[in-house]
Amino acid sequence: MEDIMEDILSLKARFIDVCYHKVKSTTISMKDGKASEITSGLNSGVGIRILNKSWGFAYTNDMGKLKDAALKALKGSEVGNRKISIGEVDTIQDNVELRANRDFSKVTLDDRLELLKEAEEAARCAEEVVSTSLSYGEAQVESLYMNSEAANIKSKLSRGVLYSQVFVKSDGKLQVGMERLGGTGGFEIFNEAGVSSRQATEKALRLLNAKAAPSGSFIVVLDPHLTGVFIHEALGHAVEADHVIQGESIVSDKLGKVIGSELVTVYDDPTLEGSFGFYFYDNEGVRAEKTILLGNGVLKNFIHSRETASALDSIPTGNARAQGYNHPPVPRMSNTYMKSGDLSFDEMISDIKSGVYLLGSKGGEVDPARGVFQFSAEEGFIIKNGEIMESVRDVALSGETLKILKSIDAVDKQFDISGGYCGKAGQVVPVGDGGPSIRTYSSVGGTA
């Protein structure tokens, strides 16, 4: 493989990189304690980028057609006359592997099914449970990256995720609770599978008796998960440098300026081992590193590929990511989170006379160009006179990104980061987001 890739790198061009990607995957769906679908597969191929007048890109999963793909990419690179340059980086030769306590390759199908059965039994901890749905996924990923600057990087890691969905019913009312467990490593990722599925049940039970959400402007407290979703969606996409260059970011002209409260410090960090968004090197062979995005409210950096870094007179941040060999890399987040503060949760809510505590996320919409967002929380609670009171359901949070960032006036000591998948440019990549609980001021309303 290396010899074939070396041959491609000898083509005449300004810059060439080649990435071999192999993924061995297993997915299992379990409905009400019975496995409804089991799939496994092996997918591999090579993506080739060539830069001359523009970028040419081609890929193939047939090693016998690799040279043909390279010539196709070369032809594509001769079209147009864009002035493209790429930021300088260290030339690296490395061979890295994320070690696992229980390697997926040594885990049997029976082991996986037993794990899911135990998680399903834990979810049925209440008589109100009427249905359960579990979705298990794992991926063992190997890659080889080479470029015409003599980079040669081999990488191995594994990633897993478990989604638990539990339906409960009482007095004609039906509710659902959801939890997600995931990370990088081995089968040990799922050690808390039963705990996670039980938490989904407990959430659904709380929602059975929850009241309709209030509407209006409130002091709101976001739990670590919803803090992470806000940071990822409302801020993270706005600081991806391709959005900045394309004029699709509310912060494109605010580098070095105050855009948030002095309590707000935000990082993007792919080096958090065990996290869902972990990686050693990005898809341009740039070493992963922790990047400060906001420092005490001041916008410090954008998230860069080599091309965007050069265009904005910056340095690559190790955030050029691709879904696989069949996609070109673009600037993407990894693990994006807010730094914790000094307060306890009780201290943070102690002086709230009337507010809303929001937990989890069921999705939402964000416009990074206009800087507006709306998220639906999984559940909420009324806060009165510093106390957590009755549960509320179907609650949404909306507002303007910069106003919310500037109105954050309390950050607690908690820190939690959760994983998931982020879609952009037709690609889906694993990411993490999180932080502490935060207090701010926003519009709240019902979603149903």
Helix, strand, coil % over all residues of the chain, rounded to 5: 20, 45, 35
Is pLDDT of 50 > 90? Answer: yes
**42 close to 23: Cβ distance less than 8 angstroms:** yes
Is pLDDT of 229 > 70? Answer: yes
Read off the pLDDT of residues 162-216 as tens digits, 9 standing for 90 and up.
999 999 999 999 999 999 999 999 999 999 999 999 999 999 999 999 998 888 8
Residue burial 73-95, b: 16+ Cβ < 10 Å; e: rest: bbebbeeeeeebebbebeebeee
Q: Kindly tell me the number of DSSP H helices and DSSP E strands found in the chain.
A: 9, 25
- Name the pLDDT band for 447 (thresholds 50, 70, 90): low
Is pLDDT of 309 > 80? Answer: yes
At which residue do the structure tokens 């260059």 appear?
245
Is pLDDT of 375 > 70? Answer: yes
Distance in angstroms (rounded) separating the CA atoms of residues 171 and 246: 53
Is pLDDT of 344 > 60? Answer: yes
Superfamily of domain 2-209: PmbA/TldD superfamily (3.30.2290.10)
Is pLDDT of 448 > 60? Answer: no
Mean pLDDT score of the chain, rounded to an integer? Answer: 95
- How far apart, in Å, are the Cα atoms of 274 and each of 8, 298, 439? 35, 29, 28
- Name the pLDDT band for 2 (thresholds 50, 70, 90): confident
Distance in angstroms (rounded) separating the CA atoms of residues 167 and 427: 31
- How far apart, in Å, are the Cα atoms of 34 and each of 107, 197, 200, 314? 20, 16, 18, 53
Read off the pLDDT of residues 136-167 as tens digits, 9 standing for 90 and up.
999 999 999 999 999 999 999 999 999 999 99
Return the pLDDT at 363.
81
Is pLDDT of 446 > 70? Answer: no
Structure tokens at 279: 């990686």
- How far apart, in Å, are the Cα atoms of 90 and each of 147, 252, 281, 326, 331? 12, 28, 12, 25, 19
Chain mean position to CA 435: 13
- How far apart, in Å, are the Cα atoms of 144 and each of 46, 98, 282, 383? 9, 15, 11, 52
pTM (predicted TM-score): 0.95
Domain residue limits, the chain: 2-209, 212-446
Instruction: Tell me the one-letter amino acid at 128.
Output: E
At which residue do the structure tokens 């994006």 appear?
336
**Number of neighbouring beta carbons within 10 Å of residue 14:** 13
**Number of neighbouring beta carbons within 10 Å of residue 384:** 13
Return the pLDDT at 365.
81
Distance in angstroms (rounded) separating the CA atoms of residues 211 and 117: 33
- Sort 283 into a burial class: Cβ within 10 Å, 0-12 / 13-18 / 19+: buried
Q: What is the mean pLDDT of residues 357-361?
A: 95
The share of the chain scoring above pLDDT 70, in percent, equals 99
Return the pLDDT at 215.
87
